[in-house]
Structure 1
Amino acid sequence: MFEHPVLAAFYRRHGPAPFAPNPFPQRPPFRVLAESVVAQQLSTRAAARLAERLFRLVPPTPEAFLEAPLDLLRQAGLSRAKALALKDLAAKAEEGLLDGLDRLEDEAVVERLTRVRGVGLWTAEMFLMFGLGRPDVWPVRDLGLRRAAARLFGVAPEALPAFGEAFRPYRSHLAWYLWRSLSSP
């Protein structure tokens, strides 16, 4: 997988990507999804600050988000759409939507998660990667991934699906290194 000199250099610099078969952090599914909703259309840094502010006001649990007034979520800096999405996520989590996701195939996880208001393919793909540690997710609609692939490899957005095939079954790893390249010299 790391025969390409650019990827080998990133592996040496950043270590193993946090996806299977490497160890990956086990985190509560609700928190991972809430962070992904917050991160939609934001830079990584802005999303982290917003999530930190939000979780100081409301603990990242379905129960807390169900009880929290919409105005409190808005005070944290969320748009109305994101606040409503988090409320819907909390309600569906309480109904069992997040139960057993780790046992489902990727497509079934995406189908289930996209039932939540404001959760689309990108958010579901981020959950597959960072919530379940899946090694072969290739989020070709992600702007950072597109920028990095163009900068490092000259790959146009429409060519990303084919480009990723050479890295199957470790496309999550490739995506992670491409994202790291955006903050590397």
Structure 2
Amino acid sequence: MFEHPLLLAFWERHGPAPFHPHPVPRRDPFRVLAESIVAQQLSTKAAETIAGRLWQRVEPRPEAVLRAPLEALRQAGLSRSKALALKDLAKKAMEGLFQDLADLEDEAVKERLCGVRGVGPWTAEMFLMFGLGRPDVWPVGDLGLRRAAKALFGIEGEALAAFGEPFRPYRSHLAWYLWRSLESSPWKGP
């Protein structure tokens, strides 16, 4: 499937990435986007902890989040801004935010999602990847991706966008592998 030797080497080390054309895990879009909002500017571990506390207090459904007092969301560890963003997400989800979303092109999905309070390009890109399984998202604003690209290849700043180009149409896969490299032993290369 992959023609690029670096993707093949990553695939051999970490297995298939969870994006098309590989099987994509089915996840509730509301929950995926809510957890992306929670994860903004947090480590993976901190985000998982807060999301776990949140879903212990409130069922991960738009109706439940709308009914929940703001203070219940705050007690899970959310900032006021993130709690208000989740309330707006719940309201817009009930109004049809996710209707036919999977049928839209990436830019149209981003445009629709960025209409939700607290959702910007990074959050929309995470949804494209982990909510819809899109194979060619290249989230150059992600700090983990930037850190991995610098550590493994010495790629920084503006050069990161160009670095991803040879990996089209599998840049989501590359991003996922770069994130995995931060969790594992040092990379020896292909």
Q: Which 5+ residue runs of structure 2 have no aligned equivalent?
A: 186-190
**SS of residue paired to 2:167:** coil
**SS of residue paired to 2:116:** coil
CA–CA separation in structure 2 for the residues paired with 1:13 and 1:2: 16
TM-superposed CA distance for 1:9, in Å, is: 3.5
Note if 1:183 corresponds to 2:189.
no
The answer for the alignment partner of 2:143 in structure 1 is: 143
Alignment deviations for residues 116-139 of structure 1 (CA, whole Å, 9 cap, x no partner)? 000000000000000000000000
Give the aligned length: 184
Q: Which 5+ residue runs of structure 1 have no aligned equivalent?
A: none
Say what the alpha-carbon RMSD is for the aligned residues: 1.0
The answer for the alignment partner of 2:159 in structure 1 is: 159
The answer for the alignment partner of 2:188 in structure 1 is: none
CA–CA separation in structure 2 for the residues paired with 1:4 and 1:47: 33
CA–CA separation in structure 2 for the residues paired with 1:161 and 1:47: 26
**SS of residue paired to 2:169:** coil
Stretch of structure 1 that moved more, 125-134 or 11-20: 11-20
TM-score, structure 1 as length reference: 0.97
- Percent identity of equivalent pairs: 73
Alignment deviations for residues 93-152 of structure 1 (CA, whole Å, 9 cap, x no partner)? 000011111000000000000000000000000000000000000000000000000111
The answer for the alignment partner of 2:5 in structure 1 is: 4
Aligned-partner residue type, residue 29 of structure 1: P
TM-score, structure 2 as length reference: 0.94
Matches within 5 A, 1:87-98: 87-98=87-98
Matches within 5 A, 1:27-106: 27-106=27-106
